[in-house]
């Protein structure tokens, strides 16, 4: 079960319009909270996991910081995904993103989470007169999933697109029929781009004023490769898992398609630039399938990457609505992984430019992928010096720039590519 539609009461269509263009926020990876409901069909791995089976109630699955550690196996079993032609939950497990339509569902249990998960941005927009559920809306999503290639079944993303389209339309109606500004951060940018490119062009032009995309590149980032080299076949951990960290367990993370989303793509890194190097082999962006196999990924999972996720990265394109991309640069960012022998153990790291997560090459590639499309009427790239991935949505200097770009987008009439 996926994201449930926003309730009609979540957007007050009958009230007086605010005079603002509605803003819809899509947060980064792990910022959406996920609820679970267990049906009678659920087969728990342990009797302790049966407590809520069949009671019809929703409870917090991620990020649950109060459940006892004894329930880690329960959380791991309910967070994992199963693939049988499409990705879905285990039998008897229903999930949904918490508070779809509102920014209140974004993860904000701890100060660090609030900074990463657009909490500071929400506060800044509220100072400009925006109000949650009136002119400001949230589109949390199940970040375990990922966009898939055309023709591949993807029920979770289909539901999300349907619900987001309905939310944007209701937000527009509640604000004098003004089109909405989509604002995304990090992984939210991939979900927003997938949503826009799969929505009818006439709909986009009617309901989407602008897409402001923060901390997202056009071709993944190198540090994502470490996940595969460090976790396949290795279930050890430096600390005991808790329900709040169950998502990071190999038994969970190894089942999620979203782990492939940020792998480096030739779109940004070219075919031959070495990104991971061992004593006998080097791996460039075009060698990702070989890298995954060398890291111990089963052949069927490598094929899934090649058929579902890789085509998305290779065919990332302009959304044909006005776009402003905002990224940090000038922060040491993993550019190459150097392994002594095979892909075992911690690598030495060579650093380059970027935002600490996304490489400069991936940021620059946006200029070609989006700005270089002659059909893209407006494109603007803003790079903030010495600004981190998280800082773009939390640092006071970056926030002023980001909010300024959002407000400018609501007034923009110019359609020139910049």
Q: Which positions are annotated as active-site residues?
A: 186, 355, 389
Contacts of 362 (CB under 8 A, 6+ apart): 217, 218, 219, 220, 221, 264, 268, 269, 354
- Beta partners for 185? 214
Q: In Å, what is the CA distance from 95 to each residue of 78, 125, 166?
A: 9, 30, 20
CA angle 317/363/257 to nearest 5° reads 65
| C-alpha to C-alpha distance for 325 and 201, rounded to whole angstroms | 20
| C-alpha to C-alpha distance for 335 and 65, rounded to whole angstroms | 34
Torsion region of 382: left, alpha or beta (phi above 0 gives left; psi -120 to 50 gives alpha): beta
Contacts of 345 (CB under 8 A, 6+ apart): 339
Single out the residue of 326, 187, 201 nearest to residue 263, CA to CA: 187
| C-alpha to C-alpha distance for 212 and 267, rounded to whole angstroms | 21
| Main-chain dihedrals φ then ψ at residue 185, nearest 5 degrees | -135, 130
**CB of 74 within 8 A of CB of 47?**
no
| C-alpha to C-alpha distance for 333 and 359, rounded to whole angstroms | 6
**How many other β-carbons are positioned within 10 Å of the β-carbon of residue 401?**
16
Structure tokens of 212? 């402001």
């Amino acid at each position: 079960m996926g994201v449930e539609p926003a309730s009609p009461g979540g957007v007050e269509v009958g009230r007086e319009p605010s005079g603002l263009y509605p803003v819809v926020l899509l947060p980064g990876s792990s910022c959406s909270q996920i609820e679970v409901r267990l049906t009678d069909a659920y087969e728990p791995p342990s009797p302790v996991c049966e407590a809520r089976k069949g009671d019809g109630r929703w409870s917090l699955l991620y990020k649950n910081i109060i459940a006892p550690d004894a329930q880690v196996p329960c959380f791991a079993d309910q967070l994992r995904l199963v693939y049988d032609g499409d990705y879905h939950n285990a039998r008897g497990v229903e999930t949904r993103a918490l508070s779809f339509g509102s920014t209140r569902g974004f993860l904000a249990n701890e100060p660090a989470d609030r900074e990463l998960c657009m909490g500071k941005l929400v506060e800044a927009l509220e100072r400009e007169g925006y109000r949650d559920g009136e002119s400001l809306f949230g589109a949390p999503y199940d970040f375990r999933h990922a966009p898939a290639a055309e023709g591949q079944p993807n029920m979770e993303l289909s539901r999300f697109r349907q619900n987001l389209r309905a939310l944007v339309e209701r937000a527009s109606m509640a604000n004098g029929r003004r089109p909405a500004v989509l604002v995304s951060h990090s992984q939210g940018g991939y979900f927003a781009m997938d949503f826009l490119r799969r929505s009818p062009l006439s709909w986009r032009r009617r309901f989407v004023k602008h897409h402001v995309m923060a901390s997202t590149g056009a071709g993944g980032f190198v540090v994502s490769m470490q996940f595969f080299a460090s976790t396949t076949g290795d279930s050890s951990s430096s600390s005991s898992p808790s329900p709040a960290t169950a998502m990071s367990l190999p038994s969970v993370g190894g089942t999620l398609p979203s782990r492939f989303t940020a792998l480096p793509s030739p779109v940004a890194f070219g075919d031959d630039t070495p990104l991971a190097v061992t004593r006998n082999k080097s791996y460039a962006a075009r060698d990702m399938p070989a890298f995954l196999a060398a890291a111990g990924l089963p052949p069927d999972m490598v094929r899934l990457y090649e058929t579902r996720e890789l085509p998305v990265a290779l065919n990332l394109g302009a959304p044909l609505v006005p776009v402003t991309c905002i990224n940090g640069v000038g922060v040491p960012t993993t550019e190459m992984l150097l392994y002594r022998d095979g892909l075992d153990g911690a690598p030495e790291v060579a650093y380059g430019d970027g935002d600490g997560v996304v490489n400069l090459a991936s940021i620059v590639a946006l200029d070609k992928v989006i700005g270089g499309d002659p059909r893209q009427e407006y494109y603007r790239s803003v790079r903030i010096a010495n600004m981190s991935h998280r800082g773009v949505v939390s640092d006071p200097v970056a926030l002023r720039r980001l909010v300024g770009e959002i407000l400018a987008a609501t007034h923009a009439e110019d359609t020139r590519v910049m």
